[in-house]
Structure 1
Amino acid sequence: MWMYLGLLAALFLGLHNLCKKHAVQGNEVFPVLLGTVSSGFLFIAGFYLFSKFNSEYALEKGYDFQDITATTHGFIFIKSMIMASSWVLAYQALKHLPITIVTPIRSAGPFFTFIGAIIIYKESPNAYQWIGFFLIIFSVILYSRIGKKEGINFKRNKWIFAIIGATFLGASSGLYDKFLIQNLSLNPQTLQFWFCLYTILILLVILTITWFPYAEKRKAFTFRWSIIAVGILLQSADYFYFKALQDPDALIMLLSAIKRSQIIIAVVIGGLVFKEKNKRQKLISLIGILIGVGLILYAN
């Protein structure tokens, strides 16, 4: 069951990436990020308020919100710090790079998660899983060669380093999620509610320094419908992902890989929507990534 929940998370993540590209194109990154997190928080907050007014019905339907300790709040705040840093880097990179370059680099995230799962959680890979992960990494390297044709130097372009950093932090957060869900027994909605709230507070601090004081930057920001869509789609994806993690048999290394199937939407449809170049050549590497993911699924 947890694998199907992972595929649902991938579906919403793919749509989320398309909307995110639309939201940041030619726009101020930090207020867009704040808007997406805030819209996702309001989406979750609606369920939170309903659960308070009709707790019995919420408990019956499985979306009650837990009362948690100060220590648990601290652990959630750490996750907010990790993901706020990852999103700031990712949104800046997405603004300056094609989505068909950003998405494959992000697809290397399972490799970092894979290593962490072995060291921290002692998850045991088999030969097919090793082959699948290395095939994904090799395919990402092929993408770097295609990127040079679009004037992107992978050694000198700072946005490439930004998206690599965002990928590493995102993978770290994925490993941390397993600890929060399984070790602290947090349910998805409780984690999402407090995580979003703390992330908003962190982003407000960043914007107070980098955006609010500057009139030119404030005027450069354009509100778009996709900002709201990004927040809602991301929270939907996270809900199914966290539900999958609640299963004691769920392997974080495989869940991380399954989520990469979002690239079908992001690269194929995104390439058509945003009219990006070299789509056919990128499709070759995309097939390599999909084969890698397929090997991981087959191995299970």
Structure 2
Amino acid sequence: MWMYLGLLAALFLGFHNLLKKHAVQGNEVFPVLLGTISSGFLLLLPFYVGSAWYPEYMKSLNFYITNIPWQTHGYIAIKSAIMAASWLLAYQALKHLPITIVTPIRSAGPFFTFIGAITIYQEKPNGLQWVGFFLIIFSVLLYSRIGKKEGIHFKSNKWIFAIIGATFLGASSGLYDKFLIQSLTLNPQTLQFWFCFYTVLILLVILSITWFPNAEKRKAFTWRWSIPLVGILLQIADYFYFKALQDPDALIMLLSAIKRSQILIAVVVGGLIFKEQNKRKKLVPLAGIMIGVFLILYS
């Protein structure tokens, strides 16, 4: 069952990435990020209020937000800091790079998760899983050659390093999620609500220094309908992802790889919508990534 929940998370993440490209293209990145996370927080706020006033009813809906100790709040705040840094790097990269380059690099996230799952959680891959992961990495390297034809040189472009950093931090957060869900026994909605709360606080501090005092940057920001939808789709995807992680049999390395199937939507549909270059050539490494994901699922 947890694999199907992972596929549902991938579906919503695919559309989330498309709308995210629309939200940040030619726009100020930091307020866009604040808007998306705030939208997710507002989506979850009624569940928090309902849990305080009508706990039995919310429990019957399986959307009850539990009371947690301060130590657990600290653990969630750490996740918020990790993901805030990851998103700041990723949004800046997405603003300056084609989505058909950004998304496949992000697809290398399972490789970092793969290493962490082996060393931290002692998850044991089999032969096909090894082949699948290395096929994904090889396909991402193939994308770097295609990217050069669009004037994107992977060794000198700082936004490439930004998206690689974002990918590493995102993978670290994925490993941390297993600890939060399974070791601390947090339910998805509790983790999502407090994660959004602390992330909004972190972003408000950053924007109060870098964006609010700057009149030119404030004028450069454009509100778009896609901004709140990005936050809503992310929370839906995270809900299915965290529900999958609640299964004690769930393997984070496989779940992370399953989520990468979102690139089918981002690369194919996104390439058509944003009219990016070399779409046909990008289908070759895309096929490699999809075969790698299939091998992991098949194994």
| TM-score grouping bracket, smaller chain normalisation | over 0.9
Question: Shift in Å at residue 108 of structure 1?
Answer: 0.1
Secondary structure at the aligned position of 1:151 is classed as coil
Q: Which amino acid aligns with 1:17?
A: N
Size of the aligned set, in residue pairs, is 299
Query: What corresponds to 1:91 in structure 2?
Result: 91
Which residue of structure 2 aligns with residue 154 of structure 1? 154
In structure 2, the residue matched to 1:218 is 218
Q: Distance in 2 between matches of 1:50 and 1:209?
A: 35
The equivalent residue for 1:250 is 250
1:81-122 alpha-carbon deviations (Å, 9 max, x no partner)? 000000000000000000000000000000000000000000
The structural deviation recorded for 1:52 is: 2.6
Distance 1:65 1:223 in 2: 31
Q: Distance in 1 between matches of 2:100 and 2:46?
A: 35
The alpha-carbon deviation at position 292 of structure 1 amounts to 0.1
Can you list the C-alpha shifts for 1:191-220, whole angstroms capped at 9, x where unaligned? 000000000000011101110110000000
In 2, Cα distance between equivalents of 1:260 and 1:184:
26
Q: CA deviation at 1:153?
A: 0.5
1:297: how far off?
Answer: 0.2
TM-score, scaled to structure 2: 0.99
Backbone CA RMSD of aligned residues: 0.6
Per-residue Cα deviation, 1:264-291 (whole angstroms, up to 9, x for no partner) = 1000000000000000000011000000
Letter in 1 for 2:134: F
Structure 1 runs of 4+ with >4 Å offset: none
Shift of 1:46: 2.0
Matched, 1:292 2:279: no
Structure 1 unaligned blocks of 5 or more: none
Contact 2:47 2:65 in 1 (8 A): no
Give the CA deviation at 1:61: 1.7
**Where in structure 2 are there 5+ consecutive unaligned residues?**
none
Q: What SS does structure 2 have at the residue aligned with 1:199? A: helix
| Superposed displacement of residue 50, structure 1 | 2.5
1:51 and 1:80 mapped to 2: Cα distance?
Answer: 22
Which residue pairs with 1:101 in the alignment? 101
| TM norm structure 1 | 0.99
* Percent identity (aligned): 80
Give me the whole-angstrom Cα distance separating, in 1, the residues matched to 2:298 and 2:137: 18
Alignment partner of 1:201 is 2:201: yes
Are 1:279 and 2:279 counterparts?
Answer: yes
Q: Which residue is equivalent to 1:8?
A: 8
Deviations along 1:141-175, one digit per CA (max 9) or x if unpaired, are 00000000000010000000000000000000000
